[in-house]
Structure 1
Amino acid sequence: MQPDPLFTPLKLGALELKHRVVMAPMTRMRSAQPGHVPHALNAEYYGQRASEGGLLITEATDITPQAQGYRGTPGLYSAEQIAGWRAVTEAVHAKGGFIFSQIWHVGRISHSSLQPDGALPVAPSAVPPSGDHTDASGKQVPFETPRAMEEKEIAELVRDFVTAARNAQEAGFDGVEVHGANGYLLDQFLRNGSNKRTDRYGGSIENRARLLLEVVDAVIVAIGSDRVGVRLSPWGTFNDMSDSDGETLWDYVASELATRDLAYLHVVEPRADFTTDLPVDASAPDAASRFKSIFKGTYISAGGYVAETARAVVADARADAVAFGRPFISNPDFPERLRTGATMTWHDRATFYGGDHRGYTDYAPLEGASQSCVA
């Protein structure tokens, strides 16, 4: 009998994983206020989802107060936050699991009510995304036109990412994932739909990729390349993102990251849609087929996978591991259910963002599952 492709060991940077089912980063907005501090409920949540030799990636975590774009997201810039995260990492390690912190800055995907001193959100250029956003009170409001960052602020931003990475190390994380995906600040610099700069951070693809690579290089110096992952979302349109030559852009970024000896590259398939539970778009480009061969290192693929397609992408060597999001929310023991083909519990989308333990830590373990769904 052939071994299950998802349940074979994998070396990922400094880690030795026992299986290849990764929990994807998912915003849950349940930090303690004031201070955006992780607390006991968060430690319980991540501890429930830890497995022997498995990797969890945290929800996106603010590197500074300015990085915040949503109510209740946790930070990694204060002593209280570091202490709160330490309880989380201890809960995961107690079950033999590993955990990376996803560090981010949202850029223009924010609102002045969420910013220090009510300032405008920052971005590569003064280009607002279309649509609405939730302000600090929970009200839907139009996006504001952001303020273009000055070059000296960009240098400070790189240092902020480094500080967050070092704080993650102090909190006991096994590494960090630099969030360069889903229309947030680093992604905004990458794409010419949002980056209209004419200095060394704008214009050419090399210039637009400069900030991402500067952040990655600085974080590598701070904590070591085998503790650093990067997440990208090529061709993704979430948060009103676009680029006039995506193929050339993403090939360049993947080839540059290939020279950095990273722990992994984590890529969201363009077919993914976080906003609905509708079937994935099968006509979208296949990022795994394209970028695994360019990057060559450990490659995590995410976005709309089910058991069959996850096993296939690893068996075909188009990815080394697969990250799952929503199934991990409602199935805290998801890897074991996937391994055994057990019944899955369906999630409650109404409880995804904010709130208390409901829809967060109250999903039953395997023996209590009763409702079937597609993984």
Structure 2
Amino acid sequence: MHAFRGSARPLCGLRGPLNHSPLPRVGAVRLFSSHDAPSNAESFASSSEQAKREIAVIHDVVTAAHTKEALAKLREQAAEPNIWDDATHAASVVQQLATLETRESQARELQRRFLDTKELYALAAEEADEPLLRDCEAAMAQVRVDAQQLRLELLLSHESDARSCFLEIQAGAGGTDSCDWTAMLARMYARWGEARGFQVQHADESAGDEAGFRSVVLRLDGAFAYGWAKSEAGVHRLVRVSPFDSAGRRHTSFAQVRVYPMASEGGGSKQDVELPAKDLRIDTFRSSGPGGQHVNSTDSAIRITHLPSGIVVQSQSDRSQHRNKAEALAMLRAKLYQRELDEQARARHQFAQGLGDNAWGNQIRSYVLHPYQLVKDHRTNYSEGNTKLVLDGGIDRFIEEMLLHQAAVDATGSSVQMT
């Protein structure tokens, strides 16, 4: 297993002028400067009102019964004297507890910044202190931005959202162009993941006959990797002048994305997946991918078939058969866990990863490079004309729009509309 170019780095925090506590990074957000404009009471009032509404929503979510119950349960589990008998389960409990406690702390810090800024602004207004008024306006604008972003983080409330994940891309209709499109998507998601601070690794790949990949599996390690990536599941459509067509004609290509949360070995928690040896068929074969003479001359690649479900996974990216087997087992657990999540979602009549055929009519997003340039999500109707930005990993806004859209769908019980 090898990493994409660029090293992993921790999630970046956002800091406002009056803030010294990091907030989760949602995307590249411009920090406001007090020198941007003269003081404006209307601007401060608008930012203050918006921030107040956002903080009220955050407070409601954080203090909801399920969050308080979850905290109490996790603290009880963490206090058990024998919790570290199962290190994997213990690490999961500690991570979930830290996540919920961090959210409580972030909500309190936002409330403090909001109240402090309002109080300081009132004092500055009494003294007619123009520089301080501008600083307060900038600070309140940043509080509003940070509150909006924390609200988005709170939308990732499912127990699996905080997990790392596998992101699988499979070429669909379109031949060589679709294989090339699969490679383009792999690059897009790798850049997006690295920009968000996830560790991005190539877990497996199957090269196309002429170019690109028939399939690629990326592993995204980091807090909330699955929560952010899950809405990318579906068919992605590309329209462009094909570089593989000597006549320069326009071609349409498809690739299907699936996202699976990392699941742990069986240990009793909801996110554990048991894999009895009798349910598995494990085959070794010679790697066909890149990696040097040693990789291609040894039977280091692993293919695992889950007999009850028929799910097949493979890993051939590492020289070590042992590491390839571990990676393949992790992929299998993730797929089985996602299947269980989908079944639960269908039972609740909620949106699941209904992917459909990897071809025309089932796309969730279209990327048009010719005759005009536009990327449009057909579930939310959000679009972006800067296609280069999107293909370079700038997909945060698409994800945010889908998270907000899905929250509205869950609240009303309606279905996702494809346009």
TM-score greater than 0.5 by the shorter chain: no
TM-score by length of 1: 0.28
TM value normalised by structure 2: 0.26
Say which structure is richer in strand: 2
Which protein is richer in helix relative to its size? 2
